[in-house]
Each structure stands twice: as structure tokens, then as C-alpha cells.
């Protein structure tokens, strides 16, 4: 088990390196520099001397391969460069925002699990019932809906019409401000969890060992608790992990909509003013977050199901 | 329910409605989505003259939603075609030729899967700037990894089949075998993943335009219409409701169609349900 864990953790390193390379390449090969977008007003060309000074200040006058070398050396030391806008280390700028994003993702996931898993379960126990049909129609709708539109509608009803909840902002950490963004972000994983749980339960109920348990006189409640739940949980844990990992990506739009001061909002704002070190840094953090969670899911999975280790 | 594929039918009908709306937009409305602005008509609620109401510039939202379908479908279909071509080319050739090329394609696919595709598209849009061509590139380059995986695994299982070996013995070239012997045998699963991919691309376009990185106003993209509608949500909620509903119906249509096609093409599923 320890060897498997170490091997999976080591496998992450080349992927992170490749992603860092990819991000660096797309931001340095393609035309349009920070200096020119900072100085150009769209009508006249920027003064070449000023451009050269800005480029020198941020080290942008060095050749690409030298800059990439410096970037990787910095990366190994957890140094992501300096933000053009804040004139502060990127790691600090991102560090200030991580907590807000983490809080939002965890709240959204808790909402999705608490509602989605029981819904999928109940739906599967009565296939074809009204509740089952309603759950499945709801799930496919949840997956087809633009999340930010749902967020706008929730904002309209619960904040502006009813006045029950604050419409946007962080509110200094007041949990009331968390409710609407978390529900909005949680709808997609909720729909997926309901679908996965339902499919998993239906699949496993047809398995031989469930029939055996029934036929040896085990009560229904015991079959569900001892055989069904355990097997379905493996599936559900995987879905939760994968969704949790990709949530940071989806959170970008939701954070922008609710003015939630997380990494996603930082990314969108930095893209708008071409603060490239921050853009590279936030994307890298989102990708690493995704990879770390996927690796943990693999490790947990292997701990539950020993057959996986051999592959 | 025997023999009736609910997903396929409902998805097909919804998709058809959206396509008709886009194609026949000039016949369904006499107004122009961009230039027919009139501040005297600003923020009118839905009524007999303006079915979906009007926006802050007094433009007819029904007209803008219809023309918005043209943009959404163009982005969805074209970017998915690009994704399919990339995914199929890489996937089939990697499995067919194997060796270092297979390793390279595999590595690239894993890296692509590690980056959330919306984030990747956002990065590309940040560099290329807003607009339709950038959107097609950004969304066309970032969502091919699943197609590639499916093409690769299908090729691996087809490669050993008698008819492929027969074609090799007959002296067919590699490219010819890939195009005429391998490709036609994976049309089903590729069709399913592409249909679902169109829905995903429509959602991604809406999100990027909403963030101000996709289609810019005054062009009637559903996403950018929602950005503008956000400021007037209290006085003109219809400006938020209808463009969002259009996105929802379109994506729902493609998702149901994809699910329906999968059930239809997968005989395993069919026999179990009957």
C-alpha cells in the first residue's frame, strides 16, 4: 500500500511539469505582450523606449529559454514570480484567496452529497416511480443548465425579491453570504451524484451476492446496509473526488457572478489586465489541486479495493 | 415503454427546434438583432409586440435569442468538429502505429485531461482576445481527449481483426486502412461523444461570453446578453430569463440526444431494458 501511494505521488510530478511547460509556452509564444497592452491605447503605437523599460523591469527582455529556465527553477522553490499588478509575490497573492475558494468548494460539495446521494438511492429503490422519474429529469436538467444563469435566478428570488439572503460579496466571512454561491456551484455535482448513485444501486441490486444474501434470509435493511451501501460507496466516493477536483474550474464563473474573492475571481480579473504571472500561477494551482485530489481518490480506491493495486 | 426511446425523441425534437430557430431567424422576425434599438421601447415586459420583452437599448429579446442560436450552434458544431478531427487522428494513428508516437499521444491526452477544459479555453481566450474565431480555436483545441481515448481503444481492439489484416496483406497503405477500415467501425461511440460535446461547447461559450471573453456586445450571444441583463435584473427579469432558457433548452436537447443515441446504439442496454 505504501509503495503504491509513493508511486502514485511520484507519477504526478511529470504531469505537473508538462502542464507548467504548456502554460508557459502558450503565454510566451503567442503575440501580444504585457508591456504593449499596458501602454497601448489602441490608436497610437506605444513608445519603444517605455516598452523596453517595462520589459526590462519584469525580466521580459530575456530570451524565452532563459525565462523558462528561471520559471522552472522558481517553481521548484515554490516561487511563481511577481504579480505585475500587485507587485507582490504571486504565491502570496494566491495564498490570500485560497481560503475563500476552498470554503466555497467544500460547502458546494457538502450540499451536493447531502441532497444528491439520498435522492439517487431512493430513486433506485423504486425504479419507474414518480420520484425516480422526477429525480432523473431533475438530474439531466441540472447538467444542462448554465450554472451562472441558475445563480442569477437564485439571486433574483432569494436576495432581491424575498430579501432572505445577501445577493453577493464575501461579507467578511459571514456564512449567510456562502449559501447562494454554494448552492449554485453544487448543482452540477448534485445531479451527477444522483445519477451515479442511482445507476450504482440498480447495477449492484442485480448482482449474485445480493440475491444470495436475500435467499439466506437476511433482512432487507441488513442487505442494504451491509452489501449495497458498501459497494455503492466506492462509486460515490470516486464521483465525489473527481467532481471536487474539477470544481475549482467551474468556480471561476460563479465567483465572478457573486463577487466571491477566491482564486477564480483572481484569475478572471488577472486575465482582463494581462497579469500573466498571476494567470499562470492560478491555472497551475487549479491543475495541481485537480491532480492531487485525483491521486488521493486513486489511493483511497486502492485501499478499499485491493485488486486495483496490481494494475 | 418498450421500443420507445424517450431521450432520443425528446432530445431530437428540442435540437430540431433550436436548429430551425437559427436557420429561419430572418423569416421568424422582421427586426434586426443589433441595429433595431429604440430607447423609447427600453425594458418593456413581454407582450404582444415583443414576445420576450425588450432590453436596455429597446431591442427585441425574441429576435436576439433567435440570432443568438446561430452563434451558439456555430460555436458548438464547428468547435466539436475540430475536436473530433484532432481526437480521431491522434487516437487512431497512435494505436495503429504504436511506439513512441503512441507514448507521446498518451502523455498529451493525460496532460489535457489534467487541465479543466474551461480553464484551458479561458487561457487561450486571454491570449487571442475575444471574438468568434478565437472561440472556435479555444473550444476546438481543448476538448478532444475523450474522443482520442475512445478512438485509441477502438483501434486497439479492431487492429487484430481479420479484415484489417486482410487489407494489410492486400497492400493497402496505412492512411487508407485507418480511413476506410478503422474509422467507419467507431462511428457510433464517436457520434455519442460528439453530440454531448456540442452541448458542452454551447455551455462553455455562454460562460466565456458571460465573463466578457467570448462574443462581445452588441452581437447577440446568449452569454453576453446575460452579462448585460444582470444589471437590470430587478426592473427587467425577462432579459435574464429568456436567453438562459435558450441555453438550457439547447444543451438539454443535445444531452438527451446523446444519451438517447447511446441507448440506441448499445445493444447491451437495449436487451436489458426490453
Question: Is the minimum CB–CB distance between B104 and chain A shorter than 8 Å?
Answer: no
CB A242 within 8 A of CB A173: no
pLDDT at B76 (0 to 100)? 92
Across the interface, do B111 and A155 touch by the CB < 8 Å criterion?
no
Contact A144, B251 (CB under 8 A): yes
Nearest CA in chain B to A275: B126
CATH number of A92-304: 1.10.3720.10
* A188-201 core/surface letters (b: 16 or more CB in 10 A; e: else): bbbbbbbbbbbebb
Which residues in chain A (275-294) have CB-CB distances under 8 A to chain B? 279, 283, 286-287, 290-291
Check: CB of residue B128 under 8 Å from CB of residue B208. Answer: no
The span from the CA of A210 to the CA of A229, in Å, is 11
Mean pLDDT of chain A: 81
Q: Is the pLDDT of residue B274 over 70?
A: no
- pLDDT tops 80 at residue B241: yes
A189, three cell numbers: 455535482
The Cβ of residue B134 has, within 10 Å, a number of other Cβ atoms equal to 20
Residue of B nearest to A15 (CA): B111
Mean pLDDT of the region B228-232: 81
Q: How far apart are CA B269 and CA B13, in angstroms?
A: 22
Q: Which of B173, B18, B27, B178 is nearest to B92 (CA)?
A: B178
Q: Per the structure block, which three cell numbers stand in for A160?
A: 432581491
Q: To which residue does cell 415586459 refer? A: B45
Contact by Cβ (8 Å): B150, B193:
yes
Q: What pLDDT was estimated at residue A209?
A: 80
Highest mean pLDDT among A14-23, A226-235, B66-75, B110-119: B66-75
Name the class of domain B6-19+59-273: mainly alpha
Condensed to tens digits (0 to 9), the pLDDT of residues A215-270 reads 887 777 777 777 777 778 777 888 888 788 778 878 889 999 888 898 989 998 88
User: pLDDT at position B250, please?
Assistant: 93
Q: What was the pLDDT predicted at A58?
A: 64
Residue A37 class from Cβ within 10 Å (0-12 exposed, 13-18 middle, 19+ buried)? middle
In chain A, what are the domain boundaries? 1-89, 92-304
Mean of the per-residue pLDDT values of chain B: 84
Q: What is the mean pLDDT of residues A126-142?
A: 86
Q: Which three cell numbers stand for residue B40?
A: 423609447
Backbone phi and psi for residue A89, each to the nearest 5 degrees, phi listed first: -60, 140
Mean pLDDT of B216-238: 83
Continuous segment of H or E residues that includes residue B69: helix B61-97
Q: Is the pTM of this model over 0.95?
A: no
B187 touches chain A (CB under 8 A): no
Q: Do B244 and A149 touch (CB under 8 A)?
A: yes
Amino acid at each position: 500500500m505504501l509503495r503504491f501511494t509513493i508511486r502514485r505521488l511520484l507519477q504526478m510530478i511529470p504531469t505537473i511539469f508538462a502542464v507548467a511547460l504548456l502554460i508557459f509556452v502558450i503565454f510566451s509564444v503567442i503575440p501580444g505582450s504585457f508591456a504593449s497592452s499596458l501602454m497601448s491605447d489602441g490608436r497610437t503605437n506605444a513608445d519603444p523606449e517605455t516598452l523596453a523599460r517595462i520589459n526590462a523591469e519584469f525580466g521580459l527582455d530575456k530570451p524565452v529559454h532563459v525565462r523558462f529556465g528561471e520559471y522552472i527553477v522558481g517553481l521548484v522553490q515554490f516561487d511563481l514570480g511577481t504579480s505585475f499588478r500587485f507587485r507582490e509575490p504571486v504565491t502570496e497573492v494566491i495564498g490570500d484567496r485560497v481560503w475563500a475558494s476552498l470554503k466555497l468548494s467544500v460547502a458546494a460539495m457538502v450540499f451536493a452529497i447531502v441532497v444528491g446521494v439520498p435522492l439517487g438511492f431512493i430513486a433506485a429503490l423504486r425504479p419507474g416511480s414518480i420520484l425516480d422519474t422526477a429525480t432523473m429529469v431533475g438530474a439531466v436538467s441540472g447538467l444542462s443548465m448554465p450554472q451562472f444563469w441558475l445563480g442569477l435566478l437564485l439571486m433574483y428570488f432569494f436576495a432581491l425579491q424575498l430579501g432572505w439572503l445577501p445577493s453577493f460579496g464575501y461579507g467578511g466571512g459571514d456564512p449567510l453570504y456562502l449559501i447562494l454561491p454554494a448552492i449554485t456551484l453544487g448543482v452540477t455535482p448534485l445531479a451527477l451524484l444522483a445519477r451515479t448513485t442511482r445507476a450504482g444501486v440498480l447495477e449492484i441490486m442485480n448482482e449474485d451476492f445480493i440475491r444470495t444474501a436475500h435467499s439466506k434470509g437476511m433482512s432487507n435493511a441488513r442487505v442494504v446496509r451491509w452489501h449495497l451501501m458498501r459497494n455503492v460507496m466506492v462509486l460515490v466516493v470516486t464521483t465525489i473526488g473527481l467532481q471536487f477536483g474539477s470544481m475549482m474550474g467551474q468556480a471561476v464563473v460563479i465567483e465572478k457572478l457573486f463577487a466571491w474573492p477566491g482564486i477564480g475571481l483572481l484569475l478572471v480579473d488577472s486575465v482582463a489586465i494581462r497579469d500573466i504571472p498571476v494567470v499562470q500561477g492560478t491555472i497551475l494551482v487549479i491543475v495541481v489541486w485537480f491532480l492531487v485530489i485525483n491521486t488521493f481518490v486513486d489511493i483511497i480506491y486502492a485501499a478499499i479495493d485491493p485488486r486495483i493495486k496490481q494494475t | 415503454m418498450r421500443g420507445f426511446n424517450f431521450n432520443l425523441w425528446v432530445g431530437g425534437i428540442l435540437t430540431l427546434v433550436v436548429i430551425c430557430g437559427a436557420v429561419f431567424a430572418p423569416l421568424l422576425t422582421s427586426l434586426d438583432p443589433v441595429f433595431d434599438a429604440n430607447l423609447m421601447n427600453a425594458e418593456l415586459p413581454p407582450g404582444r409586440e415583443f414576445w420576450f420583452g425588450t432590453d436596455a437599448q429597446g431591442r427585441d429579446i425574441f429576435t436576439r435569442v433567435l440570432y443568438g442560436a446561430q452563434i451558439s450552434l456555430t460555436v458548438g458544431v464547428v468547435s466539436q468538429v475540430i475536436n473530433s478531427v484532432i481526437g480521431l487522428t491522434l487516437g487512431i494513428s497512435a494505436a495503429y502505429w504504436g511506439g513512441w508516437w503512441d507514448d507521446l499521444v498518451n502523455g498529451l491526452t493525460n496532460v489535457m485531461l489534467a487541465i479543466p477544459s474551461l480553464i484551458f479555453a479561458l487561457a487561450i481566450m486571454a491570449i487571442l482576445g475575444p471574438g468568434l474565431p478565437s472561440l472556435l480555436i479555444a473550444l476546438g483545441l481543448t476538448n478532444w481527449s475523450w474522443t482520442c481515448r475512445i478512438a485509441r481503444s477502438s483501434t486497439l481492439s479492431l487492429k487484430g481483426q481479420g479484415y484489417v489484416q486482410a487489407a494489410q496483406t492486400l497492400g493497402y497503405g496505412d492512411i487508407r486502412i485507418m480511413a476506410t477500415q478503422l474509422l467507419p467501425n467507431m462511428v457510433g461511440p464517436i457520434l455519442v461523444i460528439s453530440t454531448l460535446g456540442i452541448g458542452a461547447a454551447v455551455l462553455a461559450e455562454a460562460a466565456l461570453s458571460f465573463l466578457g471573453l467570448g462574443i462581445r456586445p452588441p452581437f447577440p450571444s446568449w452569454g453576453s446578453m446575460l452579462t448585460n441583463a444582470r444589471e437590470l435584473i430587478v426592473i427587467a427579469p425577462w432579459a435574464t430569463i429568456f436567453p438562459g432558457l435558450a441555453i438550457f433548452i439547447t444543451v438539454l436537447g443535445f444531452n438527451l440526444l446523446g444519451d438517447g443515441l447511446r441507448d440506441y446504439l448499445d445493444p447491451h442496454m437495449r436487451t436489458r431494458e426490453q
